Structure 1
Amino acid sequence: MAEMQEVNFAPDYSVPPGEILEEYLESASMTQAELAQRTGLAAKTVNQIIQGKASLTQDTALRLESVLGRPAHFWNQLEAEHQEYLARARATEREREQLEWLKRFPINKMQELGWISTQKDRRAQLHALLQFFGVHSSCQWAKVWEHHQVAYRQSQRFKAEAEAVSAWLRRGELQGHARDCTDYDATAFRNLLKDLRGLTRESPEVFQAQIQERCASAGVAVEFVPSLPGTRVSGATRWLTPTKALIQLSLRYRSDDQLWFSFFHEAGHVLLHGKRAVFIEGGNGLDEHKEDEANRFAADILIPPREWQSFVASGQPTLAQVRDFAEQLGVAPGIVVGRLQHESIVGWEWGNGLKQRFQWDHE
């Protein structure tokens, strides 16, 4: 005889116990009020069970067994099957909603960068994305990442991109947590920033490792994270723990003057502003006063005010003068060009040949 194979049966419908109970009452010519009187249940409770607004408890099942003659396990089984059906329906709806939520992320790019495992099945992609964020569902994602999206709620232009921004921030967070750092020391961090200016003259192969190592010695994790489509973020600053700050940089802007200004700008936030604040450069809704403070901090660290005023006192310099001035300061000439352009002393096309251009390894 052929061996019987087990078949999993998951019906797409369920009959609420209340409907069966109502049929029994009709066949017994018994009203709800009479059933309530015979069982000792409140009339309202009987009505709610029949309407499907209340569950049929085990105690109620025992009472129905005495009055209607069907064993308690019959009623308990009806209730259990109905609750399982409702739970599956809710799970299916949640999955449908989460698969729609999945579409709002640049999954292909995240897979390409190795941030999540490469999967073709959408449910597997959803699972990988939730693991990446360390949350159970899209609802938990919203609660965890809500405060990081404040800067983007002010603009319709950024509204649909909050998911990509959160993924970029999460990647930086994971890298930052993995980096060994000493406890934060504000004095040590401020002092080393002046020395880091010299790294602006180096290639990424040299400066990236050095800036990360030296900042880690002062309690600041510096992470370079490629931007995702739609993020439009150049940098971010936040505190991972009370003793560990995170500076996260993208290569949204690919020239050395912009990258280094972004770094020192974020360093200004670390030194000047509170540990509870989150700064995401590139969106709306930022504190203009604190942004101005961070901008001034970065400008003055890269090129001290007295030296700058002396350099521009005679008007537009020559390219040779820019090179000499940068050499005296110990910074890359592209940084001087960028400052001249920003202050409209020269045009935006002037001197760009002195800037270094960067590119991510994966590109």
Structure 2
Amino acid sequence: MEAKVIRTEEQYEAYLNEVQVLISECPKLNSIQSERLELLTVLLEAYENSKYPIESPDPIEAIKFRMEEKGLKRADLIPYFGTSSRVSEVLNRKRPLTVQMIRALTIGLGISAETLVGASSPVDNAKSNELDWSKFPIKEMSKRGWVQGINKNIKESVEEIVKGFISDSGIEFGSASFRKTFYGEAETPTSKYALYAWVARVIQRARKKKSNVGKFMPEALSTSALKELARLSRFESGPLLAIEQLELMGIVVIIEPALKGTLLDGAALKDLDGTPIIGLTLRYDRIDHFWFTLLHELVHIWKHVDSNEAFLDDLDSSSEDRKEAEANRLATEALIPRVLWRRSDAFNNPSKDTIERFAKDLKIHPAIVSGRIRKETGNYSQFADMVGQNLVRKLFVLSEKIEA
């Protein structure tokens, strides 16, 4: 009898019985019986998959099962996730798996990528097109003066005010969801609403500065432009001079402290009219951190950002993402060229004198050299007095008051 697509339960039972008979006969490979067995098996599987679909395994439960199977503790997962805190966040469903984590778990623990990919989205698919307005940090937004007229007793008024605040920034909605794509390590399921609000605030402030900003010329960005900017670090007012220079190039820079619960250093994005915007939180009030973050975000503007993307960076997080790696590499090279670094006394015999001499030769601030030594050695107790602690925020106090 000719085999056909299974459409009824009776046909399914008949084919199932025939398969059992064929299996018991142990047909030879490539025989008519073996070919028939293979064909019926395919038809049965197709019917079963459509009639009785199997729910995809939960990625987190799959990881926990493999941990139990191999006798692993949470500390054993640090090589796959990067830090112990990130292990806890993923296993507690507060942080999505990244592509790098999925790759590492697939190779290291043998969990299929198909199983793990379900956890790579920071929100459930069923809810991905909806925003929960109650999760916006409305109290902190109100305290900072971002929104007014909040009536705690009227839920609808809060929702309308938050909607108005977001829409004023020009961030558009499709089925009540953001149309921008967010990249970087800063976004987690618990922080995304605070990040949305922060981005909206940065865009709003940037628009107030546009009239004083030049026309953006993409061709003006280059490795030499990054190096010229880095050399402004040697001046006490270097951060202010750098922002002035970028605004002459048509790039708006906004200093806006991060909202609570977010681990955010900087952001790079474009407004609806294509104006590039860099947002900095000054999470760490250090000269070395300011310059690396600024150049990292500038590389994103130069190389990666389009009208629908926003990069939100937690620079404490290691990332194997190609775009983040490129931003790190170009920013590092602009500050201290690798070919000079490896042959310098500051690298081979680090001391206050060798650091200051090398910084003078490169025309950069000694804090940048000190910061690189601390980063590469992992010893953050050394040269703590040379990284320019508490020397950045105070430069922006006056300008923040004027712009707010």
Mapped partners of 2:145, 2:325: distance in 1: 36
CA contact (8 A) 2:269 2:310 kept: yes
Q: How does 1:86-105 map to 2 (within 5 A)?
A: 101-105=132-136
Deviations 1:99-119 (A, max 9, x none): x94442222322232222264
Matched position secondary structure for 1:278: strand
1:166 aligns with 2:199: no
1:197 aligns with 2:239: no
TM-score, normalisation: structure 1 = 0.61
Matched position secondary structure for 2:283: coil
1:231 aligns with 2:283: no
CA contact (8 A) 1:279 1:286 kept: no
1:187 aligns to what? 219
**Aligned to 1:211, which of 229, 242, 250?**
242
Mapped partners of 2:174, 2:185: distance in 1: 16
Residues 289 and 214 (structure 1), Cα distance of their counterparts in 2 relative to 1, 3 Å cut = same
Q: Which has the larger radius of gyration?
A: 1
- Report the Cα offset of residue 151 of structure 1: 5.3
Matched position secondary structure for 1:246: strand
Mapped partners of 2:241, 2:272: distance in 1: 23
1:328 aligns to what? 361
Mapped partners of 1:199, 1:118: distance in 2: 43
CA contact (8 A) 1:150 1:285 kept: no
2:350 aligns to what? 317
Residues 321 and 122 (structure 1), Cα distance of their counterparts in 2 relative to 1, 3 Å cut = farther
Matched position secondary structure for 1:179: helix
1:292 aligns to what? 325
CA contact (8 A) 2:341 2:347 kept: no
1:351 aligns with 2:393: no
2:142 aligns to what? 111
2:280 aligns to what? 249
CA contact (8 A) 2:226 2:331 kept: no
AA in 2 matched with 1:330: K
- Report the Cα offset of residue 222 of structure 1: 1.3
- Report the Cα offset of residue 134 of structure 1: 1.6
Mapped partners of 1:226, 1:187: distance in 2: 30
Aligned length: 256
AA in 2 matched with 1:240: D
Matched position secondary structure for 2:381: coil
Mapped partners of 1:349, 1:142: distance in 2: 50
Mapped partners of 2:320, 2:351: distance in 1: 37
1:280 aligns to what? 312
Matched position secondary structure for 2:269: strand
- Report the Cα offset of residue 282 of structure 1: 2.2
Mapped partners of 1:244, 1:141: distance in 2: 22
2:121 aligns to what? none
Mapped partners of 1:274, 1:263: distance in 2: 15
Mapped partners of 2:185, 2:246: distance in 1: 29
Matched position secondary structure for 1:128: helix
Residues 285 and 175 (structure 1), Cα distance of their counterparts in 2 relative to 1, 3 Å cut = farther
**Could you say what the CA RMSD is over the residues aligned between the two structures, in angstroms?**
3.3
1:305 aligns with 2:338: yes
1:45 aligns to what? none
2:16 aligns to what? none
1:175 aligns to what? 205
Mapped partners of 1:285, 1:193: distance in 2: 23
Residues 335 and 236 (structure 1), Cα distance of their counterparts in 2 relative to 1, 3 Å cut = same
Matched position secondary structure for 1:211: helix
- Report the Cα offset of residue 141 of structure 1: 8.2
Deviations 1:1-50 (A, max 9, x none): xxxxxxxxxxxxxxxxxxxxxxxxxxxxxxxxxxxxxxxxxxxxxxxxxx
Mapped partners of 1:198, 1:148: distance in 2: 33
Q: How does 1:77-88 map to 2 (within 5 A)?
A: none
CA contact (8 A) 2:233 2:239 kept: no
Unpaired segments ≥5 residues, structure 2: 1-130
- Report the Cα offset of residue 292 of structure 1: 1.0
CA contact (8 A) 1:235 1:282 kept: yes
**Aligned to 2:162, which of 126, 129, 153?**
129
Residues 208 and 313 (structure 1), Cα distance of their counterparts in 2 relative to 1, 3 Å cut = closer
Residues 265 and 339 (structure 1), Cα distance of their counterparts in 2 relative to 1, 3 Å cut = same
- Report the Cα offset of residue 299 of structure 1: 0.5
AA in 2 matched with 1:183: K
- Report the Cα offset of residue 188 of structure 1: 2.5
